[in-house]
Structure 1
C-alpha cells in the first residue's frame, strides 16, 4: 500500500515551481562538479605516476561509498528537512575536495573520496526526491524530462570547467569546491519548499522497494549498466572498427547530445501515454539500435544511431523516475527513489566489466551485443508488466 502522506500538500503552485527550479539548479551545478572532478582526479593521479589499475581502484571508491550511503537516506529524511541535508552534504563534498589538494597522497584520497562520494550521492538523491515530490501529476513527465536534459548539460559542462581551470595547482580543486558551495544557494533560497523532517516512516522496508516497482527500478539498473558500459568502452570500440581516436571520441559527443535533446520530448510523451509502455519502447529502441550498430560501423550513420540510442537509454532513467512519482508519495517516495538510485549504482558497477568481457569474447562487436541484451531484455519485462497491470495506476 502506498503512503498517503504527501511532502508538499500544503504548498501553493508558485512555491512548488520555486522548489522544483531550486532543486534542478542545484543538481545542474552538482553535475558540473562530477563531470569535472572524475577526470580531473584521475589526471592528477596519473601525473603522480600511479598505475592505471590503482587509479581505477581509487576512482571506484566514490561510487561504492554512494552505494553504501543510499539506504540510509529515507531514515535521514524522516528527521531532517531535505534542504539541510543537501547543504551539509555539499559542504562536506567541498571540504573533501580541498582535502585532496592539501593531502596529495594516494592512500589519503580513499577516505576523502569516500566522503565526497557519499555526500554527493545524498545531495543527488534528495534533490531528485524534492523534484518528484513537488511535481504535479499532469506535468510530471515534462518536469523530469527538463531535469534530465539540464542535468546532462551540467555533466557536459564539467570537462569545460576542467579545460578552463587546467589540472595543476589549487585552482581546479578550489573551483570544483566552489561549485559545490554555489549549489547551496538555490537550496537555501527555496528551503521552505523542501520535503522531509516530518518523522513519518515508509510503509515498507527499504529492501522491499527494490522489487515492488520492477518496471521503474530495473529501468535504473539497465540505464546504469548501459550508460557506464558505453561511456567507458565506446571509444575503444570505435577505434577497433576503424575510426581514428579523435573521431571515436566524437561518438561519445553524439551519445551525450542524445541524452540532452531527447529528454523533454520523452517527458511530454510520458504525460500523454502509458509510462510502462513508453519505457518498453525506450528499452526496445535502445537495444535494437545498438544491436544493429555493427551494420553501420565505420560509416557516418554511426553518429545518428548513437544519438538516438543515447536519448532512449537516458529516457529509461527520466521516465522511470516519473513512474515512481506517479506511484509513491511522501516517505514512500523517498525510499523508492533511494532504491531507484541504488539500482542505478549496481548497474553502473555491472556494465563496464560485462561489456569489456563481451568485447574480448567477440572482438569487437561484443560491446553492442551485450548492451543490446540489457535493452531488449528490459523491453520484454516492461511489456509484460504493462500487460499485467495495464489498468492499475498504482503498480510499478
Structure 2
C-alpha cells in the first residue's frame, strides 16, 4: 500500500470515527427526549416540532459553514462544534421541560450542522473517485451503527435521570480524539467559485430530493417511532429497542448499497429505493399486530430507505470537486436539514390522525420521490 493510499485511508477513517461517535450521543438524546415527552402526554405533532427547531437553526447556519471553515480551518471548526455539542447535551441533563429542551436543542443544531457538513466534505475531498460509492456506504454504515447504538444504550440504562444525557455529552468529547490526533494533513477549503443553490437543485434533482426525504424520514423515525410504539402499548424499553432496530437496519444495508451504486448506476438505485420504500411503508402498520413481525419488517425497510442518503450524496459528489464540492455538500446538508424540519410535524400529524397514518404519509412521500427519480436527466 502506498503512502498516499495510507494517508487517504487514515483521513477517511478519522472523519468517519468522529462523526460516528458523535452520532451515538445524538441518537441517544433524541430518543430519550421523545420518550420523556411522550410519557408526559404531548401529542405526536408537538413532539415532532422539537427536532424541527434544531433543523431550523441548521438551515440558517449551513450556508455559512464553508466561509467559517475557510476562516478558522476545518479541524479547529470541527473541534469547536464537538465542544458545543457536549455543552448542549450536558445542558439537557440539568434542564427539564418542553421549552427549555427546545432552546438547548436548537443550539445543538448548530454543532450538528457543522459536524456533518465538514465531516462529509472531508471524506468526499480525499476519497478515491472509483470507490466513492463504497466509501460512502462505509461512512453511512458507521453513522447508522452509531445511531443504532444510542437507543440500545438508552434501553439498557433506562430513561430516568441525567446519566443518559451526560453520557451523550461525554461521547461528543471522545469524538474529538480521532480528528485531533491524526497527523496527516487535513483537507483545505479554498475560496469557492460561485455555485448557486438553485443550480445544484437543477443539476441533480433526484440526488438533492434524496437528501430532503431522508432527513424527513430519519428525524421522524427517532421522534415518532417511539411514540407509535408507546401507543401500541409496548412500553418505553420496547419503543427504544424498535427505534434502535430501525437504525441498525439502516447500518447493515449501507455497504451493499454503496457497492451497488458504483456498479449498477445511482439513478436506477434511487428509483428502486423509492418504489420498495413506498410499498414497505404501507405494509408496516399491518405488521404491527405483532411486535416481532413489526421490528423485522422495520429492519428491512430502514435498510432500503437508508440508502437514499448515501446514494444521493455519492451522485452529487461525483459532479463536483474542491471548493465547489464543499458548497454542494453544504447544499446537501441544507436540504437534509430542511427535511428534518418539515418531516416530523407532517408525519406526526398523520400519526395523530391514526396509528397507520404515520406510515401512509411516509408511503406518499416515497411514492412522490419514486415518480421524480423516474424522470430522466443528463447524468447517470
* 8 Å Cα contact 1:22-1:186 kept in structure 2: yes
Q: 1:105 offset after TM fit, Å?
A: 8.7
Question: Per the alignment, in what secondary structure is the counterpart of residue 204 of structure 1?
Answer: coil
Q: How big is the alpha-carbon RMSD for the aligned residues of Structure 1 and Structure 2?
A: 3.3
* 8 Å Cα contact 1:71-1:206 kept in structure 2: no
2:346 matched to 1:378? no
- Aligned equivalent of 1:8: none
* 8 Å Cα contact 1:165-1:175 kept in structure 2: no
Question: Per the alignment, in what secondary structure is the counterpart of residue 67 of structure 2?
Answer: helix
Higher RCO (C-alpha 8 Å, min separation 6): 2
* 8 Å Cα contact 2:83-2:172 kept in structure 1: yes
Unmatched 5+ stretches in structure 2: none
- Aligned equivalent of 1:260: 251
- Aligned equivalent of 2:206: 215
> CA–CA distance in 2 between the matches of 1:248 and 1:126?
32
* 8 Å Cα contact 1:80-1:196 kept in structure 2: no
- Aligned equivalent of 2:333: 341
> CA–CA distance in 2 between the matches of 1:56 and 1:172?
21
- Equivalent residue for 1:128, pick from 120, 126, 139: 120
* 8 Å Cα contact 2:38-2:227 kept in structure 1: no
Q: Which has the higher helix share?
A: 2
> CA–CA distance in 1 between the matches of 2:151 and 2:297?
24
> CA–CA distance in 2 between the matches of 1:295 and 1:57?
27
* 8 Å Cα contact 1:226-1:374 kept in structure 2: no
> CA–CA distance in 2 between the matches of 1:250 and 1:111?
27
> CA–CA distance in 1 between the matches of 2:372 and 2:48?
33
Q: 1:161 offset after TM fit, Å?
A: 4.5
- Aligned equivalent of 2:110: 118
> CA–CA distance in 1 between the matches of 2:221 and 2:90?
31
* 8 Å Cα contact 2:48-2:220 kept in structure 1: no
- Aligned equivalent of 2:84: 92
> CA–CA distance in 2 between the matches of 1:301 and 1:271?
32
For structure 1, which segment, 178-187 or 348-357, has the greater mean C-alpha deviation from structure 2 after superposition?
348-357
Q: 1:319 offset after TM fit, Å?
A: 1.0
- Aligned equivalent of 1:26: 18
**What does residue range 240-251 of structure 1 map to in structure 2 within 5 Å?**
244-245=234-235, 251=242
2:136 matched to 1:144? yes
Over 3 Å counting, the alpha-carbon distance change for 1:317 and 1:329 in structure 2 is same
Q: 1:128 offset after TM fit, Å?
A: 1.1
Q: 1:305 offset after TM fit, Å?
A: 2.8
- Aligned equivalent of 1:203: 194
* 8 Å Cα contact 2:151-2:243 kept in structure 1: no
Q: 1:23 offset after TM fit, Å?
A: 0.3
Larger Rg: 1
Q: Note the alpha carbon deviations across 1:54-92, whole angstroms, 9 max, x for none.
A: 877665433322222111112223334311210111122
* 8 Å Cα contact 2:58-2:113 kept in structure 1: yes
Give the TM-score normalised by the residue count of structure 1: 0.82
Give the TM-score normalised by the residue count of structure 2: 0.85
Q: Note the alpha carbon deviations across 1:178-207, whole angstroms, 9 max, x for none.
A: 221211111122364422343x21331245
> CA–CA distance in 1 between the matches of 2:13 and 2:352?
45
**What does residue range 167-206 of structure 1 map to in structure 2 within 5 Å?**
167-168=160-161, 171-190=163-182, 192-198=184-190, 200-206=191-197
